[in-house]
Chains A and B, each alone.
Chain A
Amino acid sequence: MNGAISDGLIVTWRNLKRIPRIPELAIFAILQSVMFVLLFAFVFGGAIPLPDGGSYREYLMPGIFAQTIVFAAATTAIGMCDDIHKGLLDRFRSLPMSRSAVLIGRTVADVVYNAGILVVLMISGYVVGWRINTGLPELLAGVGLLLLFAVAMAAIGVWLGLAVPSVEVAQQVSFTVLFPITFLSNVFVPPQSLPEWLQPVAEWNPVSTLTAATRELWGNPNPYVGTGLPAEQPALVTVIWVIVILAIFLPAGVRRYRNLSR
């Protein structure tokens, strides 16, 4: 256990080192999110009126944060897959180190990386007019929830990276799955505007509950609440989602990692 933590931290160190060494990765990850902010704030924002004169930008930003966290799973998957193909995972597996250190290191590093990106995004959100209308505890609670979800997404990314045959496939699969997940949610549009049979999907979608939870925590407009548990307890449902995802993907990822020796 001790070994898992210290080895895990070394792998984390190594994963974080690469961020300043390939600044393009972080820069484009941030640019992509900033682009979404600008696109929706300035292009679509005017066309999507909120009732009671709420600010669309305040409505939008929590969704952008959630979207960014969700898309981070792709980064994790690609990183994992890259390590396999560069032979680095073989080197790690030939060393007398904790078996879980590689998975821990990848997860922790990606969560830290996401926290950094989140900070940059919050600042750019502030610039376009997003505000937190509550206090510091709520701010921290919201960020905590986002990062908790980031852990779940990293677990999915680790599993995916170990499951696919190449970096390109990791990329393709991630975007094919993640785009619909973020769009079938309350991030950009009210879920009530979706066809009726899709509405429950959008309401239970963890991206929606995560977004709704942070909107509520920060006093940002969240006018289209439906009914039922996800509407009433979005934070709770998000935490349940995180537990479910971890329960499924952690063991699945560990199994994949073991099966590398097949």
Chain B
Amino acid sequence: MAAITAEGLVKIYRTRKTEVRALDGVDLQVDEGTVMGLLGPNGAGKTTAVRILATLLRPDAGHATVGGFDVVREAHQVRSMIGLSGQYAAVDENLTARENLWMFGRLYQLPSAESSRRAAELLVQFDLVEAADRTVKTYSGGMRRRLDLASALIGRPRLLFLDEPTTGLDPRSRLGMWDVIRRLVRDGVTLLLTTQYLEEADELADIIAVVDHGRIIARGTADQLKSQVGGERIEVVVHDPSEIQRAAEILARDGSGQWTLDEHTRKLTVPATGGAAKLIEVVRDLGEAGVEIDDIALRRPTLDDVFLSLTGHTSETETPEAAA
């Protein structure tokens, strides 16, 4: 059964001067117990989509259901099933972590004792025990982020929305957060998460939907998206520019397609089938021909490549030159 559905969602932000079409007909389906990753650059419409599904925002057109309930007409039922951790930590600065969690538990309609118990549990789980009775004002960004996610989990929701859960975290905290998220998913929570990090979507999501300018421009598993861009490639950085031609001839023979050259970095790239064995073959042929190389690698397409091939620009930069 689909835990989350959306059909033709449109959201237009109207200000005095401008109209921004933040969502321009978004369809989504997330099956129970799976993880959907919304992947897109700044301004793609990820937060807008999450806010509509979490009942904070009304769509201008289209409709959506969460847990079988309509997000507009049955918002209250939706709210009793979901947990939301927005893009920016939404906790009370003047309360302690324990007080925040207790309050959100009570407002999730847990009885007071149950709420305290659950708060204590989450403080342990999110490594906030030591700071539990300090006001949140004194917390670092990462601690706030963790408290925010803990707040979203207070009512043991079956459906979870996480808007850029690891933005602003250091690499170690990010891995920690991934761990927490994986554990939740293992317990059967349905998760919709947004991210700008291709690696993160690859790591956590079963299905990835690539969002750009308020539309979903591609969807599928990470592997499906990657295969859309083509298979593996071998990259060779040649030491001496005068030997590039000779190296290219070898790659043309060993590879399974047209090679390309980045003159600036002296990097030759060629599509290749055969994986590691092919890599060894290329190394040997280059060695026999006496071509000195600085670096060689077998590269699988990243979601960055996916983005580039789908949108003509990379996820980080909006400049069309980057695609050229």
Contacts and interface: CB of A to CB of B under 8 A. Distances in A.
Interface stretch (B52-60, B186-194, B231-239, B252-260): B52-60
Interface string A12-24: 0110011001100
Given A91-B151, A94-B79, A18 B94 contact: yes
Contact of A14 (B54, B57, B79, B95): B95
A261 B56 contact: yes
A250 B92 CA distance: 25
A90 B86 contact: yes
Interface residues on A, range: 20 to 34
B299 to A, nearest CB: 40
Contact of B107 (A7, A22, A86): A7
A92 B91 CA distance: 10
B22 to A, nearest CB: 13
Contacts, number: 75
B90 interface: yes
A94 B76 contact: no
A261 B58 contact: yes
B89 A87 contact: yes
Nearest to A101: B107
A93 B90 contact: no
Interface in B87-129: 88-95, 99, 103-104, 106-109
Interface in A61-90: 86-88, 90
A93 B107 contact: no
Contacts of A17: 94-95, 99
Interface in A32-68: none
B29 interface: no
B158 to A, nearest CB: 13
Nearest to A258: B58
B84 interface: yes
Contact of B90 (A11, A21, A87, A261): A87
A86 B56 contact: no
Contact of A96 (B80, B94, B95, B99): B80
Nearest to A18: B94
B193 to A, nearest CB: 16
A97 interface: yes
Given A22-B94, A86-B93, A96-B80, 9 more contacts: A14-B92, A17-B99, A18-B92, A18-B95, A87-B90, A95-B108, A96-B79, A96-B109, A97-B109
